[in-house]
């Protein structure tokens, strides 16, 4: 299998997919696997059910993970890309011990905490504003016997990100976040239609997601600056604050604002996954 372009060297999926092994991990994947035009086993990536079963199979390559159930309405995270964030965070925290992470917007899939535990045995607190998502995430935690490593908290105020979540006794090695990209439901739906047109009419649910997963008033830039401002209110509560940043143009304003708020270091970690380019912004006080 050819190496995926740009995946972290420690990413266990950076040599492509062995579908024979993946079907063993998740037998439900078998019905979606077929020989493609190049004579290789693959799936139809425009079929959201196939994509979900593939990602389950990837996740179940960790022997301690065997259950990952969540509604089709929630985003199905691509496991290799999510794992890359974990590996890059590990590099950032290489000198640290007893690592504890706050995952902002953990979602129904609880993906970053379960990957962080599986790969590095970190401890997590996951926050989310959506109670239904937290219920599904809690079931995943129980089903995989991870309750000693992952704790969930609900954010009750949609205006807040860290306020109402970080408690007096908390101290985190780092925070992490995959922020909403879009400014409104309409913008998210427009992007969905464009992606659907590119992949085929049956791809709609491949890009589904609850409102809080997809959009935030003011879009990614507004979310990031709110997150940055609130991090300045909790300077001593986390050694590093980090976030994925989809739009490159948001980096400059974030860095300038971080300096005004007293950050002593700001760095950007590039991530390349196939044709997708993104980055992790990291700052500390």
Write out pLDDT tens, residues 227-243: 999 999 999 999 999 99
Contact (Cβ atoms closer than 8 angstroms) between residue 97 and residue 20 = no
DSSP 3-state percent helix, strand, coil across the chain (nearest 5)? 40, 20, 40
Of the spans 3-7, 97-101, 155-159, which averages the highest pLDDT? 97-101
Region 203-218: mean pLDDT is 48
pLDDT at 253 over 60: yes
Q: 62-96 pLDDT, tens per residue?
A: 999 999 999 988 889 999 999 999 999 999 999 99
Q: What is the mean pLDDT of residues 119-136?
A: 97
Structure confidence at residue 192 (pLDDT): 46
What is the pLDDT, as a whole number, of residue 194?
46
Residue 186 is predicted with a pLDDT of: 55
Exposed, middle or buried, 268 (CB in 10 Å: 0-12/13-18/19+)?
Answer: middle
pLDDT of residue 73: 85
Return the closest-CA partner of residue 134 out of 112, 97, 106: 106
Rounded CA separation 220/203 (Å): 24
218 pLDDT band (50/70/90 cuts)?
low
Q: Compare 203 and 51 and report the one with higher pLDDT.
A: 51
Q: Taking the model in full, what pTM does it have?
A: 0.86
How close are the terminal C-alpha atoms of the chain, in Å?
43
pLDDT score of 179 more than 80: yes
- Residue 154, beta-bridge partner list: 128
Helix (H, G, I), strand (E, B) or coil at 17: coil
């Amino acid at each position: 299998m050819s190496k995926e372009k740009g995946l972290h060297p420690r990413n266990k999926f950076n040599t492509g997919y062995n579908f024979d092994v993946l079907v063993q991990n998740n037998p439900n994947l078998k019905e979606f696997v077929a020989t493609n035009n190049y004579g290789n086993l693959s799936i139809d990536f425009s079929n959201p059910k196939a994509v979900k079963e593939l990602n389950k199979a990837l996740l179940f390559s960790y022997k301690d993970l065997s259950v990952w159930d969540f509604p089709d309405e929630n985003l199905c995270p691509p496991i290799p890309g999510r794992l890359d964030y974990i590996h890059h965070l590990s590099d950032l925290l290489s000198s640290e011990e007893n690592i504890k992470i706050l995952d902002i917007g953990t979602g129904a899939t609880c993906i970053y905490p379960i990957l962080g535990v599986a790969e590095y045995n970190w401890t997590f607190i996951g926050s989310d504003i959506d109670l239904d998502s937290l219920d599904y995430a809690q079931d995943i935690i129980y089903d995989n016997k991870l309750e000693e490593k992952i704790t969930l908290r609900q954010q009750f105020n949609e205006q807040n990100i860290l306020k109402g979540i970080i408690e007096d006794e908390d101290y985190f090695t780092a925070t992490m976040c995959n922020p909403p990209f879009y400014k409104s439901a309409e913008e998210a739906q427009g992007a969905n239609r464009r992606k659907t047109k590119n992949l085929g009419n049956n791809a709609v649910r491949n890009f589904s997601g609850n409102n809080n997963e997809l959009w935030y008033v003011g879009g990614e830039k507004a979310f990031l600056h709110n997150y940055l401002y609130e991090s300045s209110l909790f300077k001593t509560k986390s050694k590093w604050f980090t976030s994925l940043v989809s739009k490159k143009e948001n980096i400059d304003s974030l860095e300038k604002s971080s300096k005004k708020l007293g950050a002593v270091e700001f760095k950007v970690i590039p991530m390349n996954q196939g044709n997708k380019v993104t980055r992790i912004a990291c700052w500390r006080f």
